[in-house]
Amino acid sequence: MAIFGTSKKGEKKEKRAAKKGAARSRTHAEGKAHEIIRAPWFSEKAILGTEQGVYVFAIPASATKADVAGAVKELYKVEPVKVRVANLPGRRVSKRSRAGKAVRARRRKAYVYLKAGDKIEFA
């Protein structure tokens, strides 16, 4: 029985548990895999990592590790072991105009680790 409110003692805990369960059950947005994984990241370092089962993808700033893992599972039919995310800062570049300098957009990439023997084919 509550002194200052209308709810009982156990009701708050049940509501909190229901909210947590709902958040955990949704691993990624269904059908949004192409929005989460924008493109594979092709750099010298990323290509060398594919030999060890590490693949790099460009992702939006709002994507979480769970979103990336679910999107990789949906698109490429492989189960990721681990996902790491890196935020890259905007780059200052020289501009050939009166302004003199500009800033390139910041980016975000995800490193997806697969089990030994699993592969992703991009071609």
80, 112 contact by CB (below 8 A):
yes
Question: What are the backbone angles phi and psi of residue 58, rounded to the nearest 5°?
Answer: -80, 130
Q: 26: exposed, middle or buried (C-beta count within 10 Å: 0-12, 13-18, 19+)? A: exposed
Section 102-117 average pLDDT: 95
Dist CA 111 CA 81 (whole Å): 11
pLDDT 10s digits, 43-101: 999 999 999 999 999 999 999 999 999 999 999 999 999 999 999 999 999 988 888 89
* CA neighbor of 53 nearest in space, from 122, 111, 119, 110: 119
**Token pair 């490429």 in the structure block, residue:** 76
- Torsion sign (Cα): 15, 19, 24, 30: positive
Predicted TM-score (pTM) above 0.75: no
Give the residue carrying structure tokens 């975000």: 108
Rounded Cα distance between 28 and 67, Å, is 4
Contact 109, 88 (CB under 8 A): yes
Domains identified in the chain and CATH numbers: 32-114 (3.30.70.330)
